[in-house]
Chains A and B, each alone.
Chain A
Amino acid sequence: MARYEKVLNMLMDFDENIRLAIISDTDGKILVSSKRDSVNLQVPIAETKRALKRESDDWIDRCKSADRVPLGEPLYHITSFDKSKRITLPIDAFHMLFISIDNTPMKNTKKKSYGRMVEMGKLLSIVDFVNTFE
């Protein structure tokens, strides 16, 4: 469990737009979570739990699919909404990382905004770093 806490702490420290980070099991059950102190949850926890369960099921399908056809290693899944981005990735064989990131447009945007960019390379390298050294 310490490894998971370390991942969540590093992610929260790295990106201040991360509002909520969760590690869940294959049933979508929350094992560890970290919420930024200064923010309120946008989505009721019951809806987030429902999303965790669906995403876990989807990841099982995606991993099976990657075994059948040459897609390569499954890396991550992003769903972007007007105000939030939801990111999930398999952190090991039985656990999933879920991250909710603020996606509200910057104030100075003149053109229509399609949301903020997420540095997936950095997020994945944090997960890899912790997995390598623990």
Chain B
Amino acid sequence: MDKDEKMLHMLMDFDPTIRFAAIVDKTGTIEIYSQRDGLKNLVPFDETKQTLKRALHAWDENTRVKSFIGNGKYSIASYKKIKRITVPLGSGRMLFCTLNNEPMKKGIFSNKKSYGHLADMGKILSIVDFIKEQK
């Protein structure tokens, strides 16, 4: 198993809300991906490709502010039903994950509006760093 494959496996094992994880190259081409068994694609592949291109362009632009606020770590685009996460991996490559964001069932004592699940970015980034450090 190579490093990229290992990263996707670890992410899928760590977080059951991850529906889809992929690593893309600098042109937006998916090099490797993993999809959770039993889940249907919410978004057609063509639509995902557009999202990937937009995200790559944004990371390219973000390098303009590196000298002021440091390196880019991750981005999260949150919708009511899903979250899309991107993490730059270096050399123009990028990790892309789709997470379930459907609200938990309402508790008996809570009628508050839900703004979705919390994405444990610390854990996700620590998996990425762990794999990067492997020889």
On A, residues with C-beta under 8 Å from B are: 42-44, 47, 50-51, 54, 58, 61-62, 65-66, 68-84, 112, 114-115, 120-121, 124-125, 128
Contact = CB atoms under 8 A, between A and B. Distances in A.
Contact of A68 (B47, B75, B101, B115): B47
Interface string B68-86: 1111111111111110000
Contacts of B108: none
B71 A114 contact: no
B79 A74 contact: yes
Interface of B: 42-44, 47, 50-51, 54, 58, 61-62, 64-65, 68-82, 101, 113, 115-116, 121-122, 125-126, 129
A83 B72 CA distance: 9
Given A44-B68, A114-B121, A79 B58 contact: yes
A36 B134 CA distance: 42
Contacts of B77: 62, 74, 76-77
Ranked 4 nearest A-B pairs via Cβ = A82-B70, A72-B80, A72-B81, A71-B79
Given A42-B69, A43-B68, A81-B65, A120 B47 contact: no
Contacts of B54: 58, 61
A43 B79 CA distance: 28
Contacts, number: 106
A86 to B, nearest CB: 9
Given A62-B77, A77-B75, A114-B126, 20 more contacts: A42-B69, A51-B65, A61-B54, A69-B42, A69-B43, A70-B81, A71-B42, A72-B80, A73-B80, A75-B79, A76-B78, A77-B76, A80-B121, A83-B68, A83-B70, A112-B129, A114-B125, A120-B115, A124-B115, A128-B113
